[in-house]
Each structure stands twice: as C-alpha cells, then as structure tokens.
Amino acid sequence: MNTNNVDNYTHSIEVITKADKAYKALTSQIPLWWTEMFEGSSANVDDVFTIRFGSSIYKTMRVKELLPDAKVIWYVEDSLIALPELKNQTEWIGTTIVWEIEQKEEITRIKVIHIGLNPEVECYEICTGGWVQFVNSLKLFLETGKGSPYKA
C-alpha cells in the first residue's frame, strides 16, 4: 500500500489533544464528529461499520489495522453516493482510509490519507469538501468536546 502517492487525497490537522484521545475518537466515537447515523463497531480489527448521510449516501468499512495512539486503517467494502450529478455513485468501494496520529508535546498531528480518492475520481470535489468539513469537526470535538457531525 503506497500512502506516499501524491494523487491520493491527504489532509492534516494539528490538534491540542493527546494521541490516545485522537485514537479513541477514530475507533469508538465516530458518531460524535462524523455522522450520528452510525451502525456497527469500529473498535477492533475486522469490525465492520456503516456511516450514513441521509438516505442516499452511505459507506460500509472494515477496520483493517489498529496501532494504538498511532494509526487506524479502514477498507471501504460498500458505498453509495446517490447524488444526481454523479454518474459513478460507488467510487469509494475498494478505497482505503488511513489515519496517522503523531503526538508532539501538547499538539497531536492527525493525517488522513484516502487511498483511491484522487482528482481522476468523479466525486473528488464533493468528497474532499466532505473530508475538510468532518476533519474540522474531529478537531472541534477533540478540542472542545463537541463536534459538528451530520445529523439525521
């Protein structure tokens, strides 16, 4: 898995928090910052979870790797982005989302790499906009205790 490919979507934030809190947010607190429409479990390797954004958008992911306080990897097994402007509404299937966590004193750097989400992908603009929104919600959640997840 090449995570250094410049074509893959990458976004980094610096958060005033500890690495263990960032790891916990990515493994057991997803509804508090990403979407309240969450089913399944994301706490252990091989867990499967589905996140939804209303009735027309969902992503089902399998937890592939967990390195406590350092890395979380999800593989997208199923996905639908049923927006009329998209011809290919299943582009996330087969992509991989890598979260890297690195603590430096009181700051923790969180980097998301979405392997397979690149400028050639039809949903790139919509999907990268979504990543910015929800990564910012993750930062807000970690720094204030209250994120701004998608609400049903």
What is the DSSP secondary-structure string of 53-113?
A: SSSSEEEEEEEEEEETTTEEEEEEEEEEE--TT-S-TTTTTT-EEEEEEEEETTEEEEEEE
pLDDT of residue 5: 47
pLDDT tens for each residue of 84-105? 999 999 999 999 999 999 999 9
Q: Over 80: is that where the pLDDT of 4 sits?
A: no
